[in-house]
């Protein structure tokens, strides 16, 4: 036993939800692993082991708790903060790269050998890339079993398993139940309404309902305000009145296309969402892109504590606890939109946007690919760099290398490049050129920018910048 584990045990004893997803604990006497806020009776300290990931707990033979569902917690904010190989690897695994390209593909994206990646992840997280991807596949399988009427065979392959037998063995090992037993549990929602604009028999798989978990307070209202202000017709929209709005958009995904929606009204610890896909293999990727867009893996406790300690930001933080620094559902699209602005982006969608193969209501286009925009005078230089791979903005991109590459794009202003790093790369610690660069705000300077952009709406708050709100994309 050590001091760090004793502190973790205190969090478990107090059922502190701030640590959900930060670590997991397992009980040797029951063979079960849980999230820190699990409502079950706190086990004896001598029977508790701690793990940095669910995959590590599973790898040691522990099964997921039925009460707290530890596989459904928000991801650790650490992976958004860290810019090293382990942080980049975790973002890529979450995006489904191991399922699509295997460990060699993951290693190639990181610039390491497969052996190096295996060694680094195992040393820090107690599990290698295959085990981490396996845990993610199991969660996807459980969601599909409990929210759709799809046959078990279809779910097995949609979740990324190579065979039904492998699927059955994994589900039994992690959940101590068969797929049929999981599906029969209470709380499943099999009567799934189709997304707005679709009808029975529509080619998109009718909306898989999801709960997008987050920790701490979540200032969803401000995020939806910005999404509404920046929405580009035909690819996205915000419907309804403030407080009950729904954000919807089209997505281009590795195996097909989709239409996703997220409701503004927050539930206790999650946002309701629906994901409609032409190919269910894209479910994990689509969910992760929504999580990045809404910044749902953030740690608002750490952010608010650090920024609220500065007298210039105290009133802002108190007015908007849990303010997020939203990212994007499509990094290349985000960069191009930040470069040209909303009105020009809408014109590019009209001129070059690809028709969505399965339109839903007014959402009938996909944002143009960089290849399609290389001839445009304003978007062209950045589009060419994205198309050629000179600028990389995927979840595993090296942020410093991306910043250097963006600086070399003709006509791209320093502020725009910083905003691309903040949004497209999901970097939580970006200092915008026209804002104070306060070391005391690190590693949450992107959140400080969000607060300052909205500061003029809070009486008595600091007014350090005349700039409009940072666009959310």
* 25-56 pLDDT per residue, tens: 999 999 999 999 999 999 999 999 999 999 99
- Report angle CA 288, 290, 294 to the nearest 5 degrees: 120
Which are the contacts of 343, defined by CB distance < 8 A and separation ≥ 6? Answer: none
Indicate whether 363 and 392 sit together in one domain: yes
Q: Is residue 271 part of a domain?
A: no
Indicate whether 122 and 22 sit together in one domain: no
Angstrom distance (rounded) from CA 353 to CA 343: 14
Angstrom distance (rounded) from CA 55 to CA 59: 6
pLDDT at 375: 96
Longest Cα separation, the chain: 66
User: pLDDT exceeding 70 applies to what percent of the chain?
Assistant: 91
Residue 147 — pLDDT band, cuts 50, 70, 90? confident
Instruction: Give the predicted TM-score (pTM) of the model.
Output: 0.88
Look up the domain containing 16 and give its range: 3-72
Q: Is residue 200 part of a domain?
A: no
Indicate whether 443 and 423 sit together in one domain: yes
pLDDT at 158: 83
Per-residue pLDDT tens over the stretch 204-247: 555 788 889 899 999 999 999 999 999 999 999 999 999 999 99
User: In total, how many domains does the chain have?
Assistant: 3
Indicate whether 311 and 414 sit together in one domain: yes
Indicate whether 52 and 129 sit together in one domain: no
Indicate whether 108 and 128 sit together in one domain: yes
Report the range of poorest mean pLDDT among 192-201, 260-269, 379-388.
192-201
Tokens of 246: 């729904």
Indicate whether 42 and 95 sit together in one domain: no
**205 backbone dihedrals φ, ψ, rounded to 5°:** -65, 120
């Amino acid at each position: 036993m050590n001091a760090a584990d004793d502190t973790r045990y205190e969090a478990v004893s107090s059922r502190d939800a701030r640590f959900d997803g930060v670590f997991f604990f397992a009980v040797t006497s029951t063979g079960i692993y849980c999230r820190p806020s699990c409502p079950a009776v706190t086990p004896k300290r001598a029977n508790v082991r701690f793990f940095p990931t669910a995959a590590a707990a599973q790898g040691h033979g522990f099964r997921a708790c039925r009460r707290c569902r530890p596989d459904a917690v928000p991801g650790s904010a650490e992976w958004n903060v860290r810019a090293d190989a382990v942080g980049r690897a975790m973002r890529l695994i979450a995006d489904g790269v191991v399922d699509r390209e295997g460990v060699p593909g993951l290693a190639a994206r990181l610039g390491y050998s497969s052996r190096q990646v295996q060694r680094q992840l195992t040393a820090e997280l107690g599990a290698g890339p295959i085990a981490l991807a396996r845990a993610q596949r199991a969660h996807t399988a459980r969601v599909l079993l409990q929210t759709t009427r799809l046959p078990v065979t279809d779910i097995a392959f949609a979740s990324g398993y190579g065979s039904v037998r492998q699927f059955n063995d994994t589900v039994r090992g992690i959940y101590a139940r068969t797929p049929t037993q999981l599906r029969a549990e209470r709380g499943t929602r099999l009567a799934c309404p189709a997304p707005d604009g679709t009808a029975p028999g529509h080619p998109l798989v009718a909306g898989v309902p999801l709960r997008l978990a987050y920790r701490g307070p979540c200032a969803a209202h401000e995020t939806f305000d910005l999404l509404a202000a920046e929405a580009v017709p035909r690819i996205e929209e915000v419907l309804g009145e403030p407080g009950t709005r729904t954000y919807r958009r089209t997505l281009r995904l590795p195996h097909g296309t989709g239409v996703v929606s997220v409701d503004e009204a927050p539930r206790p610890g999650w946002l309701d969402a629906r994901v409609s896909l032409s190919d269910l293999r894209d479910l994990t990727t689509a969910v992760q892109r929504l999580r990045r867009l809404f910044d749902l893996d953030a740690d608002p406790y750490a952010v608010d504590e650090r920024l609220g300690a500065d007298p210039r930001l105290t009133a802002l933080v108190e007015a908007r606890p849990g303010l997020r620094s939203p990212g994007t559902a499509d990094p290349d699209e985000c960069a191009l939109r930040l470069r040209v602005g909303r009105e020009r982006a809408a014109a590019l969608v009209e001129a070059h946007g690809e028709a969505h193969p399965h339109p839903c209501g007014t959402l009938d286009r996909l944002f143009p690919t960089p290849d399609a925009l290389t001839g445009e005078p304003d978007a062209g230089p950045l589009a060419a760099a994205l198309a050629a791979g000179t600028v990389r903005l995927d979840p595993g991109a090296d942020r410093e290398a991306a910043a250097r590459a963006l600086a070399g794009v003709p006509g791209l202003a320093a502020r725009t490049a910083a905003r691309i790093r903040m949004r497209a790369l999901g970097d939580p610690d970006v200092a915008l050129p026209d804002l104070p660069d306060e070391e005391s705000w690190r590693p949450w300077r992107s959140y400080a920018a969000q607060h300052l952009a909205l500061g003029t709406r809070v009486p008595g708050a600091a007014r350090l910048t005349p700039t409009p709100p940072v666009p959310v994309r």
